[in-house]
A and B are shown apart, each in its own frame.
Chain A
Amino acid sequence: QQQVKQSPQSLIVQKGGISIINCAYENTAFDYFPWYQQFPGKGPALLIAIRPDVSEKKEGRFTISFNKSAKQFSLHIMDSQPGDSATYFCAASNSGSRLTFGEGTQLTVNP
């Protein structure tokens, strides 16, 4: 019940396209859903996060869409750029618990 399932495992997008990464969870007590971005040789870094009281959060080209009834959330990267090429991890937690991470998605944006 603590698992967070992420898909796809890898994604190739053309420059200017939309990248979409999906995550699903089981634990209805989860109330915090961040996305982390990891470049090669670096540790993951927080990209954007959402709480279940809103259905969407946008920061620049990055948007989280949240569907509480379906227990799913997704990351959309608009106008994808080669510099967005990285590994993306979704995660979830609730008060008093540590983050549970998804398996990661390796995004490649071709020029």
Chain B
Amino acid sequence: GAGVSQSPSNKVTEKGKDVELRCDPISGHTALYWYRQSLGQGLEFLIYFQGNSAPDKSGLPSDRFSAERTGGSVSTLTIQRTQQEDSAVYLCASSLRLTGGNSPLHFGNGTRLTVT
């Protein structure tokens, strides 16, 4: 079956503009995660959704960042008034359930965001 799909694969935007990044998780996966990866750096957790529970937003770096997950499937990460330090690869992952058991994360290939 299809893996996690992210769009666009690349996005160049001007400082101050808003951007929306989309993630289509694997069908049936109840948990969805967003991570940020700066050049050559590790995985910075942003937010995750688990079923109908309230999302864990503890990793969002500022109130310019928000995310939603509609119908328990597709998720959109929105960055308002983008800044140059927002430039990074934004990775989405999904898992059958909240990882801790035999439920590995499946990552998409990310959206490379460049803020000029």
Contact = CB atoms under 8 A, between A and B. Distances in A.
Contacts of A104: 41-43
B100 to A, nearest CB: 4
Contacts, number: 57
B114 to A, nearest CB: 15
A31 B110 CA distance: 28
Interface stretch (B12-20, B65-73, B79-87, B101-109): B101-109
A32 B100 contact: yes
A43 B42 contact: no
A85 to B, nearest CB: 14
Contacts of B40: 106
Contacts of A102: 42
Interface residues of A, number: 24
Contacts of B101: 32, 95
Interface of B: 4, 31, 33, 40-43, 45, 48, 56, 91, 93, 98-101, 104-110
Interface string A29-41: 0011010100001
Contact of B110 (A43, A93, A96): A43
Given A89-B42, A98-B45, A43 B109 contact: yes
A98 B98 contact: yes
Interface of A: 31-32, 34, 36, 41-46, 49, 89, 93-99, 101-104, 106
16 contacts: A41-B109, A44-B91, A45-B106, A45-B107, A46-B104, A89-B43, A96-B100, A97-B98, A97-B99, A98-B48, A98-B56, A98-B99, A101-B42, A101-B45, A102-B42, A106-B40
